[in-house]
Chains A and B, each alone.
Chain A
Amino acid sequence: MAYIFNDTQMAEFKRLVARYPEGKQKSALLPVLHLAQESFDGWLPTEALDYVASLLQIEPIEVYEVATFYSMYNLKPVGKYVFEVCQTGPCMISGSDSIIDYIKQVLSIQPGETTKDGLFTLKLVECLGACGYAPMMQVGKIYKEHLTKEKVDAIIAEFRQAANKN
C-alpha cells in the first residue's frame, strides 16, 4: 500500500501542525504518528515513518527514535482489534491474571501474538489509569472495564460480529 495521507487525513495533519509556533513543527510528531497509525492499518512500517519525517521536514532518525520510545506505536503488524490488558499492581490484585489466562485460552494466542484470522492481538500493558475499574483492557480508543470472563466472551463476540459485517 502507498503510505500517503488522503485529503481528510491531510487536513487533520495540517490542523495538528498549526497548533505550534513557526519552525516548531516537530512538536506535532506524536499526534501525527497516531494519525499515521490510524490511517495505515494500525501499524507503522518504516515507509510510514519516513513519510511522517518528510511531512514534518525532520530527519528520519528523529522519527525512529520517537516511534520506538513510546509504547503505543506498533512497529509490527497487528490484528484488527488489539486487546491491551493491564497487568500492573491494582489490576493484578483485582484479578487481571485470570482474565489474561482466559483470553489466552479463548483466542489460543500468547501475549504478542495475533489470531490466525488476523482479528485479535493480545498485548500485556502497564497501568492505563483505570485502577478503580479493574480488571480492564484497552481496545483501540475504548476502555473495557470491570472485566469478567463473561464480559470477555461478549466483547469477542461483538468484535467478531462487527468484523463480519465489514
Chain B
Amino acid sequence: MSEQTLFKVTIDNITVEVPAGTTILQAARKIGGEVAPPAMCFYSKLKGSGGKCRTCLVEVSKGSEKDPRPMPKLVASCRTTVMDGMEVKNITSEKVVDARAGVVEFLLLNHPLDCPICDQAGECHLQDLSFEHGKSGTRYEFQRRTFKKHNLGKNIQLHMTRCILCYRCVFTADQLTNKREHGVLDRGDHAEIATHIEKSLDNEFIGNVIDVCPVGALTDKTFRFKNRVWFLKPMDAHRDCPTCSGRVTLWNRGDEVFRVTARKDEWGEIEDTPEGQPGWICNTCRFDKKQSSDWVIEGPREINRHSVIAQGHYAGKIGTTKPKETFTAVNDGRTPHLLMDIHDQSEVNQPNIHLSEIKGPSHGDTFNNNKA
C-alpha cells in the first residue's frame, strides 16, 4: 500500500493530521468534543448522504497553505474535504453560531415538539441539537404543518410531522435493500417520506431506517409506547444470525427485552463489526427476537454519561461508572470555558461544604409554619 498523504487542518485552533480526502466533519470528529459540528443528515455509512440539513456549516477562514483565501460562504463540513493547511472555525465563529441557531429554528419550525409522547425522546438528535445550539422559544406563530398518516406495516411507525427530511432512510433503502419502496414525495415544504400507495415495508434489512432516523419520524412499532429509553438497561448481545452480523444492543428492564437495536457509536451511527463492516441488523433480530434466551449477553453497553440514558443507572451496574477523571482530563487536556464562577455567588455551590451543613434554603415546612 502506498503511503497516505496527510493533510494538516486546524479546527477551532486545534490542529490534526488526516488523510487527504477526509471531510472537515470527520477531521473535527477526530478531535472530538464540541469541536465536532452537529450533523443531522450526514451518515458516514450511507454513500451520498449529507449536505442537506445545514447544521454542520462551518467557516473556512483559510482555504489551504497554497491558496490561503477564505471561502466566501459557510460550507457544509460533512461534504467539504480538507486541504493542507486549511483553517476552520466552528464554535469559535460567531457567523457559524448564528447561522446554526437559525438552522435549528428552521428545523423546529414545523416540528410538533411532542417529545413527551415520542419514543425517540432521550436519544433524539434534534433534542440534543436544539439544547446545544438552539434558542429557547420560537418566533413562529402560524399553524404547524401536518401530514396525512401513512401505514408502513406492522413493524415500522412513520410520524411524518416529526421528519426533518434528512433522506437517510431513503439512502438506507437504496443501499441496503434491492428494491426501494419508500421515498420523498412532493416538494418544498410539503415534501414527505411516503410510499405513495399504502404499502408495508418488509425487506429484511429495512428495519435499519429506524436506527438511522435522527428524530422520531421512524420508530419501532414493537416498542411503541412500551417504555422510556432512560428506564431501560442497554446490554450488548449477539446471536448466530444467518442474515446479519447478529451484533445488537438489547434494551432491557430486568430480564425482559423491550427493544433491539444495532450498536451505535458516540456519533449515533451504526458501529462497525470486528470485520470492519457496518453492523446493520436484520428485521428478525430487531423485531422477532425479544427473549433473553435468544441472545448471548456480552455485558452492559457503555453509554455516554452526558446522555439521559445514563441517568438513574448506578455506578458499575450497567456500564456507567461514576467519573473519576477531572474535566480537563476527559476534555483532552483543554480547560472548560469558564462563563461564570458560580462558586462566587452562593455557598450552596462551595464544593468543600456538605449540603446538610448549610442553613436554608427554605423548605415547605418553613412556609407552612409561617402561614399557621
Contacts and interface: CB of A to CB of B under 8 A. Distances in A.
Interface of A: 46, 49, 59-62, 64-65, 68-69
Interface in B173-196: 179-187, 195-196
Contact of A65 (B179, B184, B197): B184
A78 B49 CA distance: 38
A84 B239 CA distance: 60
Give the interface size class of chain B: 10 to 19
A69 B187 contact: yes
Interface of A is mostly: helix
A59 B185 contact: no
Given A46-B196, A61-B195, A61-B196, A68 B180 contact: no
A49 B196 CA distance: 11
Contact of A64 (B179, B185, B187): B185
Given A59-B180, A61-B182, 9 more contacts: A60-B196, A61-B195, A61-B196, A65-B183, A65-B184, A65-B185, A68-B185, A68-B186, A69-B186
Contacts of B187: 68-69
Interface of B is mostly: loop
Contacts of B180: 59, 61-62
Interface of B: 179-187, 195-197
A42 B103 CA distance: 40
| Central interface residue in B183, B186, B187, by most chain A CB within 10 Å | B183
Contacts of A59: 179-181
B282 to A, nearest CB: 21
A46 B194 CA distance: 14
A107 B184 CA distance: 36
Contacts of A62: 180, 183
A62 B183 CA distance: 8
Contacts of B183: 61-62, 64-65
A46 B187 CA distance: 18
Nearest to B184: A65
A60 B195 CA distance: 10
B351 to A, nearest CB: 58
